[in-house]
Structure 1
Amino acid sequence: MDLKSTFCVDFTGSVLKKCICVLLMLFCHKIPSYLSTEFEYKVQENEDEGVFIGNIANDLVSTLDMECDSLAYKFMKEVEYVMLKNESGEMYTTKQRIDRETLCPVEFHGSPCTQEVNVVILCANQYLQMVKVKIVILDVNDNAPHFEEELMELSIPEDAAVGTSFGIDYFATDNDAGINSIQNYYLDSSQNVFGLRDGETPSIVVLQSLDREIKNLYKMKIIAVDGGTPPLSGSATLLINIQDINDNCPAFNVSEFVVQIPENMSSNSMVMQLHAVDADLGPNAEITYSYGNRVQDASKKLFNLDSATGLITFSGSRSPETHPEHKLTILANGPGCAPVIVQVTVIIIHSSKYKPKLEISYIANQADGVIFLKETAPANTPIALLEVTDPDHYLKGSLYIIGNVPFYLKPYERSGNKHLVVTSDQLDYELENQYEIIVKAEDPHNVHQLAIHVQITDENDNSPQFHQSSFETSVEENNAPGALLLKIFATDADSGQNGKVAYLLGSDAPNIFSIERFTGILTVSTTLDREKEKLYTFTVSAIDHGTPPRRKSTTVIIHVLDQNDNTPSFLTNDYTFFIPENFPSHGEIGVINVTDLDAGLNGHVIVSILNGSNNFLMDNSRGTLRCNSSVDREKNTMHVFWVEAVDGGQPSLSATAKITVFVLDINDNPPIVLLPQSNASWLLVPPNTPQGASVAEIYAVDYDTGINAVMTYNIIGRNGPAPHIFGINTATGNITLQEKLLHKDYGLYQLLVKVSDLGQPQPLHSTIMVNLFVNETVSNKSYLEALLHSQTVFTEEKQTEPNPCPLFQTLDFPCSPPVIPIAVAMIVVSVIFLTIALYMLLSIRKKSKRKELYKDAQIPLKINLDYYTKDWNDAQL
C-alpha cells in the first residue's frame, strides 16, 4: 500500500475526512518517489524506559534535498513500546518493555526479529517525507531451556556394544535465540555408564558393558544449557531400562532336596514346589520341568510333575507295597540351554500331630517388624534368622523366597532348620527404597508364608556433582555493587537432606565475592577495577547436608573487562627541555612520558601538539618530541606550547601538558661594530687634549648571549706619526691618549681594531679602522678623505719603533732625503689650514660631542649612555 492509500484508509469515515484525503492525494501525487527513505536501528529487549534507540533527524540530514527550519516527526501508527520525540526525531523505549519472544514467535527465531514503523516528516505542518524505520530487537538471555516431559524413558538391550548410540526424541526448547538459545546437553548422575552425544539429534552413548541381571534400570538427569551470561539450564529425569537377552540358563539354589510327606496325605496334595531361577526375563526365562530317564515308573505314577510350574503333587495311588522313599531326578529346561538337574528325595512317613512353623529372628535394626537397612550395606549381609519347626520334616527342601528381590536364603545349620536371610546384591536407595520378602513353604496339607518388611535408608553415598569442570564469566569494571556474575549449579543423587546442596566460597576467594548459599548465585559486593585486578580465580564448593557431609569443588574464573575510566597521565604537567640553536632537524629533544592504565584501545595514547607549533612534532612510535625545523636563538630564545594526550576509548579521554623548550646559544654571530659606521669615519683630536683623555669610543654588539657575547677590543695595526700614543681599553673599547701631544705628533692616525668575542669553541671577531686626525682644525676635508681611501700599511702591534714617515708611506711617496723639505712644507701648510678651520668650527659650536652612534641603532648592552646618531665626521663640522 502506498503513502496516499495509507493516509486515505486512516482518514476515511466522514465527508470532511474524505475531502482531506482527496487533498492529501493531490499533494502526495507531486512528491517525488525518491523521498522515501529507510533506516534501521537496534535495541535490546527488556530495556528500561528512556533507553535511546536512534535519531531520525541526524540520519536524515544527508537525504533531504530541501531546507526547513521547523521539522516535526510523527508515527503514522502509534507503537506502545517506542516513543518518538516530535521536535528532535529521537526514539526511546517506553514503560512497556519490549519482549522479543512475544513480538517474534519461536518459529521465526532463525531470522532477526524486526518491527517496522512508518514515520511522517512534516515541514511547517506540511507533509515532507515518509521514513520507514526498521527496529531490530536484539535477544537477551531471559528464558531458560525447558523440557515438555519431566520424565523420559529409553530402552537399551543389555548386549549393546560399547560406543553404540541410541537416539532420543526428547528435546528442550528455549525461546531465546542465537547464543542465548540451547548450546549443549549433558547427563548428570549417569555413573559413567552412559554418555550424551550432542548434535542435531541428541543420542545416548553406551560407555560400559551392560548386564540387566546386575542392574536393569538407570536413573539420571538430562540437562540443557544455553549460551547466555550467566547460562541458564533446564532438566528432566531420564530412565534407561535395560532390555533382557537370553544370556542366562536356569539354575537351582541347591542340587538336592529331601521332602517328607505323611502317609495319609490326600490326593493332589503338593509334595514340593520346584523353583529354578533364570535371571533373564519373559520368553528368555521360560522354564519347563521333566523327569529324568532314571526315575522309576512307580515313582512317576505316585508323584505328578507339572512341566510348566515344577509343582510335584501326590496322586494318592499308594498301596501297602509302596516303597517309603522315592528318588526323583528332575530336569529344568530353558531355551537354548542344557538341562539343569535337581534330585528330590520323597520320604513317606507316618502321620504326626505337630504342624510345621516358621519363626523369624531379626539381626538388623528393626522397629515394629520393619527392618531398617542402610543402602551401603554390602552384599551377603544377613538381616534375619529364619527358624523352621518341622518335626515330621514335611517342609524339608521346600523353603524359598518368592519374587525377584535382592535377598536369598542361606542354610545356617546342617539340619536345615535354620536359614539366614541375606542380601544378594548391594542396595541403592535411589532406585528402590523398600522391599517385602515373602518366604514360602508348603507341606502336604498347607502353604506356609512369612513376610519380612525391609526399609532401605538413604546414606550420603553420593557427592554433589558440577556439570562442568569450571565456571568462567566476564564482567566489565565499574560495575554496580552487588552485581550478579553467574549461577553455580550442582546436583546430588541422594535424597532428603543428603541430596540438599549448599554452596560455599573457598578460602582462596577474595572477600568481595559472595555466593547465595542455596541458589549458587555469585555476586560481587564492590565495584571492580581492572587496573587493580583483571583476573580472579578461586574455588567454590558444593556441600550436601548428609552426615558426614560430602563436598565437591569447582574453579570459578572471573575476567574483569576494561572500560575507558582512566585519563592519560603525563609524568609532569610542565616539561622543560634545552636544545642548542644548531639542533638538527628531526632530532630527538626528549621523551614525553605519558601513561594510561586502561588496556587495548582504551590505553592506546596518541600525543599531539595543540597550538600548531610548526617547529616541533611528536613521534608517537617512540614517545619523543622532535625538532621539525632549525631554531635560531637570536629569533626566539624560548618556545612554549601545549601537547594533548588522547586515548582510543569511546568516548576518548585526554590530558594536556605544557612544554617549554629553551634554545641555548652557540657562538654563531661575530661582533658587529656600530660605531664608527665605516672604515672611512674619522675624528679630530685637538693638540691640547690632555694625556689620558678618551678621544674615541668603539661601540659593538654581539647577538649571541653569555660568554659568546663578551667582547674584547685590541689594536692589531697602527699607522701615524707616533702610532703608540693611542691606547685602547680592551673591555670597553675606549681609545685614550697615552702621551701629551707635541707638534711633531700632528697628522693622521689609523688604528686597526679587532673586536673579538669569547665564544667557544672558536671565538668570532670583526675589525674596524679607527681614523684619528691630530690637528687644531681640518682645512681640507676632501684631501683628508682622499687619504682615508688610499691604501694603508699598518705597523704591527709588536713593532715598537715609530714609522719615520707614516703619512707619506700611506700616500705611497718614497721616504728619501730629497723629498723631506717638500713634505715638511706641505705638512706646515696643512696644519695651518686645519687649525683655522677648527677654530671657526669651535666658534660656531660651543661644545662638540664625540660619542655618537648609528642612526636607529639599538644598543642593549650600554643603555645608560646617550648617543647621537651622527658619525665622527659630522661631529667635526
Structure 2
Amino acid sequence: FVLFAAWPAALSVTRYSIPEEMERGSVVANLAADLGLEPGGLAQREVKLDIFHNKKYLDVNKKTGELLIVETMDREYLCPSKPVSCLLKLDVIIESPLRIFNIELGITDINDNAPHFRRDRVELDVSESATPGERFSLPNAVDPDVGINTVKTYKLSTSQHFTIEIQTGTDGTQYVDLVLTRSLDREENAVHNLILTAVDGGNPVRSGTANIIVKVQDTNDNPPRFDKQIYTVNMTENSPIGTTVIKLNAIDLDEGPNSELVYSFTLYTSEKTQDVFAMNPSTGEITVKGTIDYEDMKFYEMHIEARDKGTYPLLGQCKVVVHVTDMNDNYPEITLQAVKNTVNEDVPVGTVIALVAMSDRDTGENGKVNLFINDSIPFVLNKSSDRPMHYKLLVSKPLDRESVPDYEITLIARDSGRPPLSDNETITVHLLDVNDNAPHFPQSFYTIRVMENNAPGALLSSLSAFDPDLHENQYLVYFILEKEIANTSMSMLFSINPENGNLYALKTFDYEMEKDFLFHIEARDSGSSPLSSNVTVHIIIVDQNDNAPVIVSPWRAHGSVVEEKIPRSTDKGSLVAKVIALDVDSVHNSRVTYQFLQVTDASLFSLDQYNGEIRTMRMFSFKDSRHQRLIVVAKDNGDPALSATVTIKLSTVETSVKAYSDMTEVPLEYDIFSDLNLYLVIGLGSVSFLLLITILVTIVLKCQKVKPSKAAPPCRNSVISERNSTIADSTLVSNDAYWYSLFLAETRKGKLVVRQPMPKGSRYIVSSIPRSTGMSETSDSAPSTLQVG
C-alpha cells in the first residue's frame, strides 16, 4: 500500500505509428525530445522499457534517447484477429526522479499477403439439362491484410456458359456464385475448366487463384443412330451355321446406361426369316442359324431396331436385305480302285502305287473335276488315256526309307465351280528297309591313351558305329583286323566286344617295352549282303614312374658299398668320385638329381645335383678323419619320386708330391656340338670298326693291369645306353636323337672322353674300368659289366 501511495501519476499517452515490416535499426521516435527531457539526459539515469510480451521488438538508445526497431514486426502475427487498429503498448520508466511515460505504437498494414483460397480445386457436377440462370456456390478467398489491402473483387476466366456474381454479407465478407448463362451439351463438351481469381486492393496488387472443374452430367437426349437406313448383303446358299451375315453398330452419343443398346428384330420381320437368321442383342451381329437355300428363297428382309437403356429409352431403326447367290453345292467323290500300302525303298521309278477314279453329280463347269496331291510328295498322277476321270499314282523319283519312312499322300479332287468344291482321300505308303547303308563311325581315327601297368581286361574305349537301316540290316558285329607286330597278333593284345564295340586290353603294357600300337577295327552289319566300314585305332602307352634310378657308377662289385682311396694332399675342387644313375622311364620321370643323404663332414665335400660329381671344397687338414663316409641318393622327377642310394667310403692315403705333380685334370666340354667336338665325332665316325675294337681292348687291358699302389683308387665307368640321350662333361641329358656311350679312361695327363652314337634299340652296358694311380700296389677293384635288358 505504501508503494501505490508513493507511485507518481502517469503522464498522458504518447502515440506513434509505423508500417509493419519496418527494417531493423530504424528510429521510431526521439523519446528525449517528445517526453520533454534534456538531450543526453538519459545517459546518467536508469531507463526501463516495458513493452509487455513484445520486448524483443524495441529498445531505447540512452545516449540519444531514440526508440529503435530491434526485430522486424509482422502486423498479422501481432494482431491475428485482424482488428482495424493494431497497437503495441509500452511504458518507459525513468528513475531519479521516477517518471513513467505511456506509449502506444500503432502498426499500420502493408500489402504483404496475397489472397488465397482454402480449396484451390473445386469440382462441380452439373446436369446437361440444367437451365440458364442456375447458381452454384464457390469458395471465397481470404487475405490476412486489412483495409484496402484485403480482397477487393473476383474474376472468372473466359467462358461461353458461365459467369460469376459477387455478393457482400452484413459483415462485409464477399461471396461468389457461379451462374449458368447458356445451356450445356455433354456430347459437345463434357468438362469445363474455369479459373477463379481473387484480387486485393493493395499497391502493388496481389491475387490468388482456384481451379473450378465443371463436369457435365449426361441425360438421355440422343437416340441411337445407324450409319445406313438399308444394308444390302450377298450370301451364298448353304452357308454354314454360325456364319456372320453382318454386324450392326448403332451409335448413341450419350454415356452410361443411356448409351448401352439392345438390338432386336421388329414385328415386320417374318418368322421364316427369323428361323434362318439370329440376332445377338448385345453386339448387333446377325448370324446364320438355319439352312439358306437359293431354290427356296432368293432374298430375305430383316427389320432391326436399336433401343438404349435410359430411364426413358430412345430407339433407332434400319433394314437388312440379304440376297442369296446360287452356288456349287455338290462335292466331288474319290474312289480308290487299287492301292499298294507297302513297298520296298528301292522300288523302281514309275511303279504304280494306286488307281484312282472320280465323280461329281454337278454338271457343266461345276461337274468338271481335277485331281491333285499334296506338295512335297515324290509321286506323280497320270491320267488314263481312255478314261478321263481315272488317274494312276506313280513313283517319280528314288525313295529313301532313312529320310522318309512313311508317306501320307492326300488326294484332292476339286471341281471348276465358283467357288470350287473339293474332296480329299489319304493314302498311307510304308517303305520297307533295304540294306543300303554301311555302318558309320563318328570318327575316322581314334587316339586312345592307356597308362602303362594297366590291369588286364580293362575297358579302353567304346567304338560304336551307327547304321540307319532297320532290323538285321542294323545289327552290327565288330572285329579287330588282324595285324602282327613282332610276331604278335593284335587279337592277343586287344579284344573287342562284337556286339557293342567295347575295346579291352588283354595284357599289362610296359612303356619301356611298347610305346604304341596301330591297327584297324571293322564294323559289319548283318544284312543278306553285309556292308562294312573300318576305323583306325592308335593306342598310345603313357609312361608311369615305375622304374627307380639305377646307379651305374661307381660300380659296386661287392655289395652296396664302394671303397675309394684318395691322396690326402688332394687340392680344393678336385674330383673325388662321380655318381651316374640311369632311369628307364621317359621325359620328366627319367630326370635324375643327386644329393647327399649322409656325409661325415659337410664342409669337406660338395655334390653337383645335376651331374653327380663329388668334389673337395677344401684341402684335407690334420684334424680331418682319414675315413669319410658319403651316402648319395639319386632321385627321379616322378610323382611319387623313386630313388636309389650308394655308399662311398673314402680313405685318405699319404702319397709323395712328385707322384701326382704331373697329374692335371682336363675339364670336359659341355657343348658336345662345338667345332672341336664336331670334328672329333666326324673323325671317330670315319674310323673303322676294327680300330674301335682295338681301342676298347687296350683300355680294358690297361684297367686290368696290376700296378703297385698304397691304396686302391676309385674306378671310372663307361656307359652304353639305349636311351635317347646325350652325355656332356659326364652329365646325362635327355635327347630324342640317339644314345651315346661314354668311355672314361684316366691317364697321368688327365681324362680321355670318347663319344660314340649307339643304334636305337640297343641295351645299355655299364663297364667298370679300374683307375691306376701309378703306384706298385695291386688294386682290389676288378672290372665288371652291368647289362640291363
**Shorter-chain TM band:** 0.3 to 0.5
TM-score (norm 2): 0.36
TM-score (norm 1): 0.32
* Richer in helix (by share): 1
